[in-house]
Structure 1
Amino acid sequence: MASTRRTQQERRDQAEAALLTAAAELVVEQGVRSLTLARVGQRAGYSRGIVTHHFGGKQALVERLARATQAAFVPGRNDLPPGLDRLLRLVDGYLGELARLGVFNQAFLLLWAEAATQPDLAPIFRERDEAFRADLRDDIKAGIADGVVDPGLKPDDVAIAIVGQLRGIALQLLLDPRGVDVEQVRRSVTGYWRRVLAPT
């Protein structure tokens, strides 16, 4: 019995991954407004009914896609405790991911930008950005406690600035891939935050 349940779960996970990939591809190719359950199912090789079974509706699909795509931007942080090293790894890793801007990353950026004018998307991305800033605030506070981050800095302000800078660079790259040298920017930005956050 346990083996059968595992096989069913594996099939479910495989179907969900295929549906999310299809949704991300459609967002990149045609924008979120053109995203429908039927199109997602067709692109992934499933029926619309399977998409409905997994997500219920478009809003739930977009929410799940937002969470899945955001995860792609936060690589390799879980093995470090909160603090300056983890924050700098996030900055470096985020920009490193931009060098290989895959479909999930592109979809996230397009959804994030569209959230500014789409009331149904805005709450999803406000929540995701708040979680991002909260994580950064934890790193900044831990760095202050460790004596490696300037205690005069306001963690909220720094977190807003970092998220704004990273998202802004990503959107510029999406708009003009030839105009942004990601590796050069990566070195400059990571070094910039190391200097700015250091105690004076």
Structure 2
Amino acid sequence: MTDPGNPDGGRRGRKRVTHYGTGRIALLDAAVRVVARGGLRKLTYRAVAEEAGVTHGLVVHHFGSRDALIEEAVDHALCASLRVSVLDGGTGRAQDFAAGLGEMVESGPDVQAFQYELMLEARRRPELLPSLRALYEEYFAAARRDLSRILSRPVEPALSRLVFAALEGLVLHQLVFGERAVTDEALAQLGALLDGAARGAAETGAPEDAAGS
């Protein structure tokens, strides 16, 4: 897929350096796009320079080694993932759980694709696991807090992981097939299930509350 900021689809040739800018963040954004399209093994100085529209030497100057480039790109992408996460909204309404998931994928597919590429690469490079595991622990904890608010009770880690797995599957499906409507419909069904569970828990708990009063 052609990046909107790269209308020639990645063909070689001189590009305007001012398009993406020459700052470190712009280079890391370019690195994320490179990995999203070609996997972590395609992340090289030259590929990032071409994507960002800068010189090879500038990328070397900023990062010094390919390992440093990979490490900083991973940290950059994972921080971006947390910033745009739709979890931990805090409303306590089932209908609001993971609201905006489809829009998040649609507006930032490269960050999401980078994350999946990183998961696959971590099977071959165990040194990537700590950063990836830390990200997912944040996701699991956020999902657990949201679900606990909705159900008005502490939620087991296994349940929060199960629900998160469903969300992750929707993200992957939308990345591959581009069917935003499927994501939105599935979220509506999930919201209805959570709402039913919350109502059932409240009704079951009502007699106990009355007896104890």
Identity of counterpart residues, as a percentage? 21
Separation in structure 2 between the aligned mates of residue 88 and residue 112 of structure 1, nearest angstrom: 30
Q: 1:102-113 alignment to 2 at 5 Å?
A: 102-113=109-120
Cα 1:186–1:43 shift into 2, 3 Å = same
Contact map agreement 1:28 1:110 (CA 8 A) in 2: yes
* Paired amino acid for 1:24: V
**How far did residue 70 of structure 1 move?**
0.9
Alpha-carbon distance between aligned partners in 2 of 1:68 and 1:41, rounded to the nearest angstrom = 22
Q: One-letter code of the match for 1:195?
A: G
Aligned to 1:182: 183
Is the 8 Å Cα contact of residues 97 and 191 (structure 2) preserved in structure 1? no
Cα separation, 1, equivalents of 2:54 and 2:23: 8
The verdict on how the C-alpha distance between 1:67 and 1:90 changes in structure 2, with shifts beyond 3 A counting, is: farther
Kept in 1, the 8 Å contact 2:45–2:59? The answer is yes
Q: How many Å separate the matches in 2 of 1:179 and 1:22?
A: 25
Q: Which runs of 5+ in 1 are unaligned?
A: 1-12
Following superposition of structure 1 onto structure 2, how do residues 28-177 of structure 1 map, counting pairs within 5 Å?
28-52=36-60, 54-55=62-63, 57-71=68-82, 73-75=84-86, 82=90, 84-85=92-93, 89-100=96-107, 102-141=109-148, 143=149, 149=151, 151=153, 154-177=155-178
Output the CA distance in 2 between the equivalents of 1:72 and 1:105: 12
Q: Which runs of no fewer than 5 residues in structure 2 stay unpaired?
A: 1-20, 205-213
- In the superposition, the TM-score normalised over structure 1's length comes to 0.69
Q: Does residue 28 of structure 2 align to residue 23 of structure 1? A: no
**Distance in 1 between residues matched to 2:25 and 2:97, nearest whole Å:** 25
Deviation at 1:129, TM superposition (A): 0.3
Higher alpha-carbon Rg: 2
RMSD: 3.3
Kept after mapping to 1: 8 A contact 2:86/2:101: yes
Asked if structure 2 preserves the Cα contact closer than 8 Å seen for 1:70 and 1:105, the reply is yes
Distance 1:101 1:60, change over 3 A: closer
Which structure has more RCO (C-alpha within 8 Å, separation ≥ 6)? Answer: 1
**How many residue pairs align between the two structures?**
178
Aligned partner of residue 29 in structure 1, secondary structure: helix
Shift of residue 160 of structure 1? Answer: 0.8
